[in-house]
């Protein structure tokens, strides 16, 4: 089979890619193993210098790569610019802090004994990455992993193979050894055999819960470390004392940026009964006012969905929810014409057992649910198999902290939109995965915390 990339704004083919055959994959694994042996001995200072150079290369090509994302998966160009800039910030962060994060941890035990923990790299790490943030998802894994002394093998989504090739070029042009970062063009059903290969020492995946289970199962059979960042159905709790100006404006962005195709998007808006009507009216009005269109147009707020099958699946979830009794406040039908466009959509009066309440809606569709009080909001926030992130809105910071502490999620934001930040760990619980990316937590995930006792 061959892989094709398609422009979701027009439905036209961009490029065709041949999959790598077994010999090519085998050679890549050999090259990764050989490169690791020398790369692991490179000083942390040298690896940090290369991370800084990565940032320079990215910044010089920001517009080019933003356009590439718009072409391959429909991200509005201004959001693509933001994604590339965030990747550069990540590189600069690890260029500055990588050595600190990896320094030996001295531990006192007995007189005349030198005892400490060193964080040493594992080897080649396979990364299975999605299309929705085709640069950021890769860099937030690869930069800390490589700075720690590992080497990386990327299995990117076929939707964004052009981005995968571009990322490979960025690492090479920044001065990394040629096989320190390699992209593998392989079908999903070949991933299991690559995980099983002795030359691969660990695996990370960002994607669906279904894909996470498959990767975890394959890695578990082979006793290999995994980090999984999976789906989400994040609660966005609006309490009765919230600043509605901020809460509404942020909710629109949190639900629709990247075409709503984000694991940490605000998907279930849980609104206190005292402000429910006003919040909903204002939210629907602002969602309706968004401009849906060509991702290369500066006026566009929401671009197309990344693929036609994703558009169709989202619409099926919405229609099934309406058929079950949900009220459609706006949107709700794919737009006519070329491309895979779905309008910002708001559902209210949503039954508990319909897709809009029980499944992840990966597109610009918000579910607004009325709650009676804090306890009701917390119960509904936790009434999901997911646990990636959450957001609470109130003018009482301590009240926000109290509610946030009771939400089962990898992160809780009070009066702020859920987001990832290189300085803070990122990860989920329950069906949203395990393990951490970013900060010192992330850089240590693919290391051996090795104990030394020198008498």
Instruction: Classify residue 225: in a domain, yes or no.
Output: yes
Across the chain, what does the average pLDDT equal?
Answer: 98
- Could you say which of 83, 92, 229, 437 is catalytic? 229
Specify if 72 maps to a domain. yes
Nearest to 234 by CA among 408, 42, 31: 408
- For the question of residue 354 being annotated catalytic, the response is no
424: tokens are: 């803070």
Same domain, 212 and 288: no
DSSP category for residue 173:
H
Task: Judge if 184 and 306 occupy the same domain.
Answer: no
Residue 419: inside a domain, yes or no? no
Using pLDDT thresholds of 50, 70 and 90, give the confidence band for residue 435.
Answer: very high
Same domain, 194 and 317: no
What is the reported pLDDT for 64? 98
pLDDT at residue number 139: 98
What mean pLDDT comes out for the span 419-444? Answer: 98
Shared-domain flag, residues 246 and 225: no
Do residues 200 and 246 both lie within one domain? no
Question: 425 vs 45, 74, 358, 410, 439, CA distance in Å?
Answer: 23, 28, 27, 9, 5
Whether 155 is covered by a domain: the verdict is: yes
Residue 196 — very low, low, confident or very high, per pLDDT cuts 50/70/90? very high
**pLDDT of 1 strictly over 90:** no
Q: 443 and 357, same structural domain?
A: no
Is 31 in the same domain as 103?
A: yes
Determine which one of 168, 263, 354, 437 is catalytic.
263
436 shares a domain with 366 = no
Residue 425 falls within a domain, yes or no? no
Q: Do 191 and 218 meet the contact criterion of CB atoms below 8 Å apart?
A: yes
Q: Considering its fold, how many domains does the chain have in total? A: 2
- pLDDT tens figures, 111-130: 999 999 999 999 999 999 99
Q: Is the pLDDT of residue 334 over 90?
A: yes
pLDDT confidence of residue 212: 98
Q: What is the mean pLDDT of residues 260-284?
A: 98
The confidence score (pLDDT) of residue 332 equals 97
Residue range 128-179, pLDDT digits in tens: 999 999 999 999 999 999 999 999 999 999 999 999 999 999 999 999 999 9
Query: pTM here?
Result: 0.97
pLDDT tens digits, 75-98: 999 999 999 999 999 999 999 999
Longest dimension (CA), the chain: 77
Q: Report the pLDDT averaged over residues 201-217.
A: 97
Residue 169 maps to a domain: yes
Domain housing 282:
234-414
pLDDT band at 316; cut points 50, 70, 90: very high
229 catalytic residue (yes or no) = yes
Please give the pLDDT value at position 328: 98
Residue 423 within a domain? no
Does one domain contain both 282 and 308? yes
Tokens at 162, concatenated? 């052009």
| Same domain, residue pair 225 and 240 | no
Task: Return d(Cα 382, Cα 236) in angstroms, integer.
Answer: 12
Provide the pLDDT for residue 230.
97
Token pair belonging to 3 = 């892989």
Q: The CATH number of the domain where 401 resides is what?
A: 3.40.309.10
Do 56 and 199 have their domain in common? yes
Query: Is 422 part of a structural domain of the chain?
Result: no
Paired tokens of 265: 């998007």
CATH number, position 61: 3.40.605.10
Same domain, 196 and 66: yes
Q: 267 φ, ψ to 5°?
A: -105, -35
């Amino acid at each position: 089979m061959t892989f094709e990339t398609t422009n979701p704004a027009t439905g036209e083919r961009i490029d065709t890619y041949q999959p790598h055959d077994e010999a090519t994959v085998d050679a890549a694994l050999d090259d990764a193993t050989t490169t690791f042996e020398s790369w692991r001995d490179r000083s942390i200072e040298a690896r940090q210098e290369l991370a800084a150079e990565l940032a320079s290369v990215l910044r010089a090509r920001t517009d080019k790569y933003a356009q590439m994302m718009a072409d391959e998966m429909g991200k509005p160009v201004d959001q693509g610019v933001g994604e590339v800039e965030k990747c550069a910030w990540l590189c600069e962060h690890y260029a500055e802090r990588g050595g600190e994060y990896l320094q030996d941890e001295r531990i006192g035990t007995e007189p005349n004994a030198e005892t400490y923990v060193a964080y040493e790299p594992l080897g080649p790490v396979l990364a299975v990455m999605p299309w929705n943030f085709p640069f950021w998802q890769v860099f937030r894994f690869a930069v800390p992993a490589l700075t720690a002394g590992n080497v990386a093998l990327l299995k990117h989504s076929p939707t964004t193979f052009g981005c995968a090739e571009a990322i490979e070029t960025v690492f090479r042009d920044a001065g990394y050894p040629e096989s320190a970062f390699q992209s593998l063009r392989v079908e999903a059903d070949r991933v299991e055999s690559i995980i099983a290969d002795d030359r691969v020492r660990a695996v990370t995946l960002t994607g669906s819960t279904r894909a996470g289970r498959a990767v975890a199962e394959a890695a578990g059979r082979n006793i290999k470390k995994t980090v999984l960042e999976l789906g989400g159905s994040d609660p966005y709790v609006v309490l009765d004392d919230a600043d509605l100006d901020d809460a509404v404006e942020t909710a629109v962005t949190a639900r629709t940026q990247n075409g709503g195709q984000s694991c940490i998007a605000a998907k279930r808006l849980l609104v206190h009964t005292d402000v429910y009507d006003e919040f909903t009216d204002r939210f629907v009005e602002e969602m309706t006012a968004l401009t849906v269109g060509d991702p290369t147009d500066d006026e566009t707020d929401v671009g197309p969905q990344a693929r036609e099958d994703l558009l169709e699946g989202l619409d099926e979830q919405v229609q099934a929810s309406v058929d079950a009794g949900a009220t459609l406040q706006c949107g709700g039908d794919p737009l006519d014409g070329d491309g895979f466009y779905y309008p910002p959509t708001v559902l209210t009066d949503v039954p508990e057992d319909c897709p809009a309440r029980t499944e992840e809606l990966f597109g610009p569709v918000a579910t607004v649910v009325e709650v009676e009080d804090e306890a009701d909001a917390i119960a509904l926030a936790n009434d999901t198999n997911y646990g990636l992130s959450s957001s609470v809105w109130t003018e009482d910071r301590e009240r926000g902290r109290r509610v946030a502490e009771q939400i089962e999620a990898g992160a809780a934001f009070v009066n702020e939109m859920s987001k990832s930040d290189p300085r803070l760990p990122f990860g989920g619980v329950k069906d949203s995965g395990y393990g951490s990316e970013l900060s010192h937590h992330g850089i240590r995930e693919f290391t051996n915390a090795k104990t030394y006792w020198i008498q």
